[in-house]
């Protein structure tokens, strides 16, 4: 059996174009199969970094149709990036990002404390968002926040809100976030630092998840470079 995957690059406000492109892809699937097409029903893995991590979570973990994800993305961008800070090392307020993410997750799940890693149907769509551990930037290896359990190198167990803040926390834009993992507090910054296009890491993850299957389709959309 083949596996399908989509990877969303980071790209700031430009990330909206990724959703518009994906909307056209899903429209063509609908026309070909004469069915309503949602990404979580057609892709085994949806992954992303930065704003691409947010859209990946919307489409995969939160199972939003693309049209709904576009609406939520526009609202989030307006709420978070509308007002710049007057001073400080970052351009925008991390509290604004936290508030916007909490609102989005609360409306989608009923609780802003919903965990990223929630045991779901093993055959269902899996979601991955990427961030970087501040103490290990020189290694260039991103940390993976997954919506599913793994036995090898599991990422931090945290809320969806914290995972999405971590992938968005580019040092020029927002403060880093501290997340406790295995009893140790670690500081995370945006996945775009060293992992603007996570496709290589996504393919490695897919091989581990589905060792007996070949990848039949990859859609990589965004502003990053592989």
Domain 3-221, CATH among 1.10.10.60, 3.40.50.1240, 3.40.1090.10, 3.50.40.10: 3.40.1090.10
- What pLDDT was estimated at residue 37? 84
- What pLDDT was estimated at residue 137? 73
Estimate to the nearest angstrom the gap between the alpha carbon of 2 and the chain centroid: 23
Mean pLDDT by 10-residue block, N- to C-terminus, for the chain (226 residues)? 54 75 92 86 94 95 96 94 86 95 97 88 85 80 93 91 96 94 88 84 94 91 62
- Domain boundaries of the chain, sorted by first residue: 3-221
- What pLDDT was estimated at residue 11? 47
- What pLDDT was estimated at residue 182? 74
Q: Give the per-residue SS3 of the chain.
A: CCEEEEEECCCHHHHHHHHHHHHHHHHHHHHHHCCCCCHHHHCCEEEEECHHHHHHHHHCCCCCCHHHHHHHHHHHHHHHHCCCCCCCCCCCCHHHHHHHHHHHHHHHHCCCCCECCCCCCCCCCEEEEEEEEHHHHHHCCCEEEECCCCCCCCCCCCEHHHHHHHHHCCCCCCCCEEEEECCEEEEEEECCCCCCCCHHHHHHHHHHHCCCCCEEEEEEECCCCC
Q: What number of CA atoms fall less than 13 Å from residue 172's CA on the CB side? A: 5
pTM: 0.90
- What pLDDT was estimated at residue 135? 80
- What pLDDT was estimated at residue 139? 64
């Amino acid at each position: 059996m083949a596996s399908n995957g989509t990877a969303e690059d980071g790209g700031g406000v430009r990330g909206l174009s990724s959703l518009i492109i994906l909307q056209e892809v899903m429209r063509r699937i609908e026309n070909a199969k004469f069915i309503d097409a949602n990404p979580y029903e057609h892709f085994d893995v949806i992954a992303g970094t930065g704003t691409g991590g947010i859209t990946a979570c919307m489409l995969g973990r939160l199972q939003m149709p693309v049209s709904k994800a576009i609406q939520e993305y526009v609202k989030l961008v307006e709420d978070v990036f509308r007002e710049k800070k007057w001073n400080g090392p970052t351009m925008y307020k991390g509290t604004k990002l936290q508030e916007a993410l909490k609102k989005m997750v609360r409306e989608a799940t009923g609780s802003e404390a919903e965990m990223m890693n929630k045991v779901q149907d093993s055959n269902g769509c899996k979601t991955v968002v990427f961030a970087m551990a501040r103490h290990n930037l020189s290694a260039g290896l991103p940390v993976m926040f997954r919506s599913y359990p793994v036995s090898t190198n599991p990422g931090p167990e945290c809320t969806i809100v914290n995972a999405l803040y971590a992938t968005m926390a580019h040092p020029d834009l927002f403060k880093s976030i501290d997340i406790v993992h295995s009893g140790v507090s670690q500081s995370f910054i945006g996945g775009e630092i060293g992992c603007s296009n996570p496709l290589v890491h996504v393919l490695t993850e897919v091989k581990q998840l589905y060792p007996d299957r070949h990848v039949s389709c990859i859609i990589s959309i965004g502003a990053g470079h592989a």
